[in-house]
Structure 1
Amino acid sequence: MKKIVLSAIALIVTGTLISFKLPTTKTSEVVAFQDANKGKAIYSKTCIACHQANGQGIPNAFPPLAKSDYLNKDVNRAIKVVLNGLSGPVTVNGKKFNSAMTSQGLSDQQVADVLTYVYSSWGNNNTKVTPAMVKAQRGKK
């Protein structure tokens, strides 16, 4: 009887200790981390050729995404650029660019993932982009 009581107490204490050690990470934080990782893979396939691995772009051809005032100022505009493409002159970080970016043909989830990655990289403002945000901009110019 004494062994059973001691075993029960040990299980209760162990269970209590384990419950205190469990992380208190919010689900949304985990999802954002996963989205950024997925976004990095998408970036590597669709964006890296023009905007480069470090987000610096190509001088006089393709604008930087790193510390980009254009990007950080308006997330909805950034979403629309990825969805619809962009042509014509833009000024990014004080420099003018006049090239074309085609629509990338990505799903709402892929756009959210790649922009979450870009916003969490290279000194940008860490905006979390959701598929719902992308869906709201789809079809808008």
Structure 2
Amino acid sequence: MTIVICAMFACQSEQEMEFKRYYSSGQLIYQTHCQNCHGKEGQGLAALIPPLNDADFLKSNRAQLSCYMQNGLSGNIIIHSNNYNGKMPASGLTPIEIAKVLTYVQNSFGNQLGLFNLKQVETDLKVCK
């Protein structure tokens, strides 16, 4: 049995294993810090809190997502042709936690956008507006 488990991990690339680590940790961070507002399935809350299942928004705002998480977000955004004009508070998460939760969100709720690693978060945070 141990040999089978070791063989399974040996067949995975370092990037695949990193993705799985980020994703599973990100799920726990999401449940603790994000799920209360954005919902268990990332569905949001009616016209108050946007859903997280819009891959187009996530892709087109990829460089700003870390900033939104660290500093919060206010002002109008459009998701699925709906306007949201609320205020998301700063998350209080560390850069590695931001990377993990963004990996989870970007690969859940119908999204499949791949790894969002620590280096990307750190780069993005340096240029937050």
TM (norm. structure 1) is: 0.80
Q: What residue number does 2:111 align with? A: 124
* Higher RCO, 1 vs 2 (CA within 8 Å, ≥6 residues apart): 2
- Residue 72 of structure 1 contacts residue 125 of structure 1 at CA under 8 Å; is this kept in 2? no
Q: How does 1:25-104 map to 2 (within 5 A)?
A: 25-104=12-91
In structure 1, what residue type is equivalent to 2:23?
A
> Is the partner of 1:58 in helix, strand or coil?
coil
| Runs of 4+ in structure 1 over 3 Å off | none
TM (norm. structure 2) is: 0.87
- Aligned-pair CA distance for 1:67: 3.0
Any stretches of 5+ residues in structure 2 without a counterpart?
A: none
| Number of equivalenced pairs | 122
| Structure of larger gyration radius | 1
- Aligned-pair CA distance for 1:78: 1.5
* Percent of aligned positions that are identical: 30
Distance 1:68 1:59, change over 3 A: farther
> Is the partner of 2:108 in helix, strand or coil?
coil
- Aligned-pair CA distance for 1:68: 4.2
Q: Deviations over 1:84-111 (max 9, x none)?
A: 1101111111100010001111111100
- Aligned-pair CA distance for 1:123: 1.3
